[in-house]
Amino acid sequence: LDFITGLPPTTSCHDAIVFVIDKFSKMGHFIPTHTPARTEETAQLFVRYIISQHGIPTTLISDRDPNFTSKFWKELMSLLRTKLAMSSAYHPQTDGQTKRLNQIVEQLLRAACKDEIFKWDLHLPVLDFAYNNAIHAATGKTPFFLCYGRHPLTPQKPTASATIQPAHDFITTMHQLWDRTHKRLLDIQQQQKRQADRHRNDHTITVGDQVLLDTRNLDISHLPSKLRPRFCGPFLVEAQVTPVTFRLRLPATWKIHNAFHVQLLKPYRDPNTIFVGRQPPPPPPVLVKNEPEYEVNSVLAHRRRQNGTVELLIRWKGYDPSEASWVPESDMGNARRPLHDYLVKQGVTSTTQL
């Protein structure tokens, strides 16, 4: 379940699409809506277009949109006995089917609407039909066939002259719209296949392994440049949530979701088993109030700036003294013990006496 937003407003005041894709059959439904949509309105659309046709789902995968993390939505799904599955930390592609479908729908809309960009909501039923009657690469079948065991008849171009011209024009327009959408969908599938073949990456991570975690999504920009490792860890892989998502055993102070996409992980190789005597990698930062902080080993020196503020030369735990860096005394709120030890050595009781 996901949203496509930022679409041009139609004459019916629609500027977004809520769409749902079935993980088994790959069947998708495209529902016009507006932004901001209240959670109750999204629930009504879900009942009207999804539950009415397919029944109540056992599991519903979505991102962490406020609609789907609200108390109302959680309670509603609980009453329906539908399990909510949110995107893994830092990788919204956990609900990858809907993300890929998001891109496909946008391209199909451009192909279908052409000069009628403010009437795109009128074309959604044909787009829905074309998508569900196209062979899906993952199953080798069309969503229609997997759901109903048959292929539906498709719009055909009128061959005989019509006695009622509006009816003839209606069918001609419907056929042209379906034909454009279907051909564009085939082009998209070929592009995706070529791209997937170029970037295919079969991982070897299993439960029980030690892995390193990519730090690209951790806010560590305020740390000294030398202390910004690309990966941190290692961490134990506790469970495999999906074929490409793993749950890690993180430090208790890390108040973040502990499931990560495999693209953010890489196998850890103990350097001591490869190069005897090599020092182990420095420890990762710990999260304090959702902010990553490196642990202070000791205070080496101090200095006072022209504006009167005191800065401390910090040696970081697990790092070489050459990587020590100056830190404002005001940033030492979570490292009072090393600061206290330094003040004792200096024979003072506060930094104002330094």
Residue 297 has a pLDDT of 87
Give the distance from CA 24 to its chain's centroid.
Answer: 21
Fold exhibited by the domain 2-199:
Nucleotidyltransferase; domain 5 (3.30.420)
Counting residues of the chain whose pLDDT is more than 70, the rounded percentage is 79
- Domain residue ranges in the chain: 2-199, 210-285, 295-353
pLDDT tens readout for residues 22-34: 888 889 899 999 9
Peptide bond into 36 cis (omega under 30): yes
Q: Is residue 5 pLDDT above 90, yes or no?
A: no
Confidence of residue 98 (pLDDT cuts 50, 70, 90): low
Task: Return d(Cα 162, Cα 337) in angstroms, integer.
Answer: 90
Per-residue pLDDT reduced to its tens digit, 251-261: 776 777 788 88
What's the pLDDT tens digit per position in 276-312?
Answer: 455 555 655 655 555 556 778 899 999 988 888 888 9
Region of 251 (left: φ > 0; alpha: ψ -120 to 50; beta: rest) is: beta
CATH class name, domain 295-353: mainly beta
Percent of the chain topping pLDDT 90: 22
- In this predicted model, what pLDDT tens digit does every residue of 167-202 receive, in sequence order? 888 888 777 777 777 777 777 767 766 665 555 556
Q: Residue 88 forms beta bridges with which residues?
A: 91
CA distance 202 to 315: 40
pTM of the prediction? 0.51
Top mean pLDDT of 177-181, 190-194, 212-216, 346-350 is at: 346-350
Fold agreement between 2-199 and 210-285:
no
**Is the confidence at residue 89, as pLDDT, over 50?**
no
Locate tokens 């085939």: which residue?
A: 186
Topology at the third CATH level for domain 210-285: SH3 type barrels. (2.30.30)
Q: Which two tokens stand for residue 212?
A: 């390193």
Among 111-120, 146-155, 316-325, the range with the most confident prediction by mean pLDDT is: 146-155
Overall residue count recorded for the chain in this entry: 354
Structure tokens at 16: 């977004």
